[in-house]
Structure 1
Amino acid sequence: MKKTMVLYPGLSVSHFLPMMKLADELVEHGYAVTVALIDDPLQKQIAFTATVDRVISSKPSICFHRLPRVDHLPAVTTNDGEFYLPGYLDLVRRHNEPLHGFLSSHFRGGIQALVVDMMSVEALDIAERLKVPGYLFHPSNASLFAFFLQIPSICAESKRSFSELGDTPLEIPGLPPMPASHFIDNRPEEPPESEVYKAVMDLVRRYTNKCSNGFLVNTVDSLEARVVNTLRHARRQGGRALPPFYCVGPLVNKAGERGERPERHECLAWLDRQPDRTVVFLCFGSTGIGNHSTEQLREIAVGLEKSGHRFLWVVRAPVVSDDPDRPDLDALLPAGFLERTSGQGAVVKQWAPQVDVLHHRATGAFVTHCGWNSVLEGITAGVPMLCWPLHSEQKMNKVLMVEEMGIAVEMVGWQQGLVTAEEVEAKVRLVMESEAGVELRARVTAHKEAAAVAWTDVGSSRAAFTEFLSNADSRQTS
């Protein structure tokens, strides 16, 4: 009889998809996998709901179970549509009992382990009650993992809340110095007694208090060698409150996988007609937070046109648009832009198959918001990147990509809220035409090759994954 692992993913595409790749690896290793889902309470998360439905239909070997809805759902977004952490944590907390009921009634013979999303750390209480090993899945990188472990000591030493630190330079062991504001979105208007601040601090404390079994981190040893080695050294030296961690990345889709959408997108046919490495691909994530203003869209358009380089651009309407799901490109972009650039570029509304585009022979550069999934997809495709962070830890990722990994350049102006057409043109030319662009490609190719080795029989991620399975086995039987 197969051993069973239960996975409990988060409620966003960027957290859900990497955990589903983890599920694939577990199935490949002979485990039965069940995924417990919180029935989407947000309704407006069209991209997330559609992604979940597509994944369920494409993975018949995995069992998916939707937990019953709870009454009086808390708000997980603010009135202006921004993510509200205290509401999200309350939502997950209210599903603890339905999760417990499902696990205790359906798995009387026991489960090998419960793996929960990093934002669902309170669900580890259920693993403890059922006396099964519980692990936390961290879909981002080891650098953010290291930062989370340091937040309490940073605030204690500075005697200020994290939101009050603003652009104060921070030195996290294993990371390059960078402003506090680059790690997470911190708002000066949120004092230490605010609900958001308390929720962040409580979440971080629970990471170390509740997750003694370990973390699964979506990264590759060689990609973040400095911080991974620093963390391992600290753990060997008996570092306080440092749980075991397993670097099991890159957990990303492969080119040609039709789980995202079954049909071949028309933009790939357009790419088929372009020469090798000549197209700049622009895409800014799967959520509405990545929508630019009309002014910014027009600056991008002018810069692309003046660069003279081919481009494939995924455009979403500004959030204030009457219908952001069906943007009117003629109204959003400069007059005549689409006609003038019809032989130079292609503009796609809302969505494109990012992995397939990045792996296409015609793609030569990637303008990205620096979400970790997108960074890994760019690396595994061997495509140099242009960084345009928008929110959360994307600013930290930008520093890592530019300064540590040497695989990207920064689009200057994002901090001021507007990247000019001149900057777009200059950076596109730099990556596509200059010797600096050649060097970027060489470095990202080296990381691509290292990532490809990570899941082979002699790879670091395979070894970490095997160690995790062994750890779960030993804890389950002890």
Structure 2
Amino acid sequence: MTELANVFLKHGYDVTMVLVEPPFKSSDSGATAIERIAASNPSISFHVLPPLPAPDFAASGDKNPFVLIFQLLLEYNELLGAFLRSIPRKRLHSVVLDMFCIHAVDVCTSLGAPVYTFFASGASCLTVLTQLPALIAGRQTGLKELGDTPLDFLGVPPMPASHLIKELLEHPEDEMCKILTNMWRRNTETMGVLVNTFESLESRAVQSLRDPLCVPGRTLPPIYCVGPLVGEGAEDHDDGAERKNECLAWLDSQPERSVVFLCFGSKGTLSVEQLKEIAVGLERSGQRFLWSVRTPAGSHDAKKYLEVRPEPDLGALMPEGFLERTRDRGLVVTSWVPQVDVLRHRATGAFVTHCGWNSVLEAVAAGVPMLCWPLEAEQKMNKVCMTEDMGVAVELVGYGEGFVKAGEVDAKVRMVIEGEEGRQLRARVAARREEAEAALEEGGASRAAFLRFLLDVESIGEPIVE
């Protein structure tokens, strides 16, 4: 969202980002990230709404914590409305909603404010989720029973039912399934959707969202592909006082495109057994590696997001002697990794990723081929499109059984770094990187899409609001 705000700033607009206090505090809480982002983006105004009482997660029993968070966001509508009314209507150009804050559409509509959605994932994911409510409607059973049966959606390769967001596989009357289905439907009930992608990367998906057959009987709003919205990276900021990150200093001493980077996002964790298996595979491969390791979660449901996890004990998580034996060609880190900088580094040759969309775009923008290891949310859907449509990745197939074996880690890492298939993959990703750069240049497709969005907002005019 901050990257999108910076695009508005470049076009001469003032930007205020409206936030709510995180409803829980933990070592992984977004609060620290928000403070860091606010401090490094002084041109953006950050307005935190007065806090409402947080849900009692401990007393909620088996209720999904996200249900409580969605309910809390709805309760913030009154405070959001009061804040928006404090802005002179002539100054309020538009309101752009995060894809999870869709309840706020009602506030903006009541005020006559132009309201748009920012969809932070890709167009492929958006087109599947937009078509999904019609697929679920009227079903007497959940999609879970379909297993790996491929489902046909406009704009994407056949999508195994098992690859959809897991909450959407439950019975249509399940509370979380109903909430998410309604949320994805409402994402395209605003005046338009700004999508973090560039059109040539997902051309089939983008065209499907403009196709009258996408949702029969309903005309979807304009889709504006304004990405890739990727951070500049710490290395682009000239700050001589800032100590160079340990992993970047280590990368400086490695040969060009020789290092495999493994990172599973800010929330992605693996079991102790799986971590040891990866270590065995990396050691067998003989390849250089940079590996970001986090403490395994105590559970695999939504409540893991509320856990406070200590720093990983690498001595307990790695095979005995692994760190010593690979010391000359590998680095395992337990602290935050400047991922954009790592991917842009000349020594990085491949990226083992959980397929979160930000990570995908950062790798594409850096021209780094990927090995897919999706964990949750929409990541399996992304994997299908990355490997079959975009041609920027290959998959580690063991993830489907919940365990990737050392032999596959060894073989796939060797293939991407040394093999002919890896060379061809690198060439395809390099072409995508050039397309991404062209999209963001003056006159490029993403620049033109954002200008078209601005003109469309201006054409709405100022309504008369009582």
Is 2:277 the counterpart of 1:299?
Answer: yes
Is 2:6 the counterpart of 1:24?
Answer: yes
**1:175/1:187 CA distance change after superposition, 3 Å:** closer
The Cα of 1:72 is off from its aligned counterpart by 4.9
- SS of the equivalent of 1:92 reads helix
Superposition pairs of residues 69-148 of structure 1, within 5 angstroms: 69-73=51-55, 75=57, 84-107=65-88, 109-148=90-129
- Rounded to whole Å, the distance in 2 between the matches of 1:76 and 1:235 is 45
* Aligned twin of 1:355: 340
* Aligned twin of 2:293: 315
- Rounded to whole Å, the distance in 2 between the matches of 1:92 and 1:45 is 22
Range with bigger deviation, 198-207 or 435-444: 198-207
- SS of the equivalent of 1:234 reads coil
- Contact kept, 8 Å, 1:77 with 1:83, in 2: the verdict is no
- Rounded to whole Å, the distance in 2 between the matches of 1:297 and 1:351 is 18
* Aligned twin of 2:194: 216
Superposition pairs of residues 389-428 of structure 1, within 5 angstroms: 389-428=374-413
**Identical aligned residues as a percent:** 50
- Rounded to whole Å, the distance in 2 between the matches of 1:33 and 1:153 is 36
* Aligned twin of 1:172: 153
* Aligned twin of 1:201: 181
- Rounded to whole Å, the distance in 1 between the matches of 2:405 and 2:269 is 16
- SS of the equivalent of 2:26 reads coil
* Aligned twin of 1:156: 137
- Contact kept, 8 Å, 1:133 with 1:476, in 2: the verdict is no
Scaled by the length of structure 1, what TM-score is found? Answer: 0.89
The Cα of 1:244 is off from its aligned counterpart by 1.3
* Aligned twin of 1:63: 45
Question: Could you tell me which of 221, 239, 246 is aligned with 1:266?
Answer: 246
- Rounded to whole Å, the distance in 2 between the matches of 1:169 and 1:295 is 31
**1:263/1:76 CA distance change after superposition, 3 Å:** farther
- Contact kept, 8 Å, 2:261 with 2:290, in 1: the verdict is yes
* Aligned twin of 2:322: 337
**1:387/1:87 CA distance change after superposition, 3 Å:** same
- Contact kept, 8 Å, 1:75 with 1:88, in 2: the verdict is no
Is 2:456 the counterpart of 1:471?
Answer: yes
- Rounded to whole Å, the distance in 2 between the matches of 1:239 and 1:365 is 44
- Rounded to whole Å, the distance in 1 between the matches of 2:195 and 2:342 is 26
* Aligned twin of 2:25: 43
Structure 1, gaps ≥5 residues long: 1-18
- SS of the equivalent of 2:137 reads helix
Superposition pairs of residues 447-462 of structure 1, within 5 angstroms: 447-462=432-447
The Cα of 1:242 is off from its aligned counterpart by 1.4
- Rounded to whole Å, the distance in 1 between the matches of 2:61 and 2:413 is 37
- Rounded to whole Å, the distance in 2 between the matches of 1:197 and 1:44 is 27
Over the aligned positions, Cα root-mean-square deviation in angstroms equals 2.5
Structure 2, gaps ≥5 residues long: 300-306
Is 2:164 the counterpart of 1:183?
Answer: yes
**1:54/1:120 CA distance change after superposition, 3 Å:** same
* Aligned twin of 1:34: 16
**1:72/1:280 CA distance change after superposition, 3 Å:** closer
The Cα of 1:75 is off from its aligned counterpart by 4.0
The Cα of 1:124 is off from its aligned counterpart by 1.2
The Cα of 1:73 is off from its aligned counterpart by 3.0
The Cα of 1:137 is off from its aligned counterpart by 0.7
**1:172/1:159 CA distance change after superposition, 3 Å:** farther
Range with bigger deviation, 150-159 or 20-29: 150-159
- SS of the equivalent of 2:397 reads coil
Question: Could you tell me which of 365, 377, 385 is aligned with 1:380?
Answer: 365
Instruction: After superposition, give the CA deviation of every residue in 1:61-81 in whole Å (9 maximum; x if it has no partner).
Output: 11111100113536499779x
- Rounded to whole Å, the distance in 2 between the matches of 1:237 and 1:142 is 15
- SS of the equivalent of 1:229 reads helix
The Cα of 1:278 is off from its aligned counterpart by 0.6
The Cα of 1:393 is off from its aligned counterpart by 0.9
Instruction: After superposition, give the CA deviation of every residue in 1:136-183 in whole Å (9 maximum; x if it has no partner).
Output: 110000011111211122123765444454433201011100212212
- SS of the equivalent of 1:46 reads coil
- Rounded to whole Å, the distance in 2 between the matches of 1:365 and 1:236 is 35
* Aligned twin of 1:6: none
Is 2:415 the counterpart of 1:430?
Answer: yes
The Cα of 1:231 is off from its aligned counterpart by 2.4
- Contact kept, 8 Å, 2:123 with 2:195, in 1: the verdict is yes
- Contact kept, 8 Å, 1:276 with 1:363, in 2: the verdict is yes
The Cα of 1:123 is off from its aligned counterpart by 0.4
Instruction: After superposition, give the CA deviation of every residue in 1:33-86 in whole Å (9 maximum; x if it has no partner).
Output: 111111122212635222111110011111111100113536499779x96332
- SS of the equivalent of 1:444 reads helix
- Rounded to whole Å, the distance in 1 between the matches of 2:428 and 2:44 is 37
Equivalent position amino acid for 1:291 in 2: T
- Rounded to whole Å, the distance in 1 between the matches of 2:60 and 2:97 is 25
Instruction: After superposition, give the CA deviation of every residue in 1:425-476 in whole Å (9 maximum; x if it has no partner).
Output: 0000110111100000000000000000111112111111001111111224
- Rounded to whole Å, the distance in 2 between the matches of 1:345 and 1:237 is 49
Equivalent position amino acid for 2:275 in 1: L
Is 2:233 the counterpart of 1:248?
Answer: no
The Cα of 1:88 is off from its aligned counterpart by 2.1
| Matched length | 453
- Rounded to whole Å, the distance in 2 between the matches of 1:216 and 1:421 is 41
The Cα of 1:296 is off from its aligned counterpart by 0.3
Equivalent position amino acid for 1:274 in 2: Q
- Rounded to whole Å, the distance in 2 between the matches of 1:47 and 1:378 is 25
* Aligned twin of 1:10: none
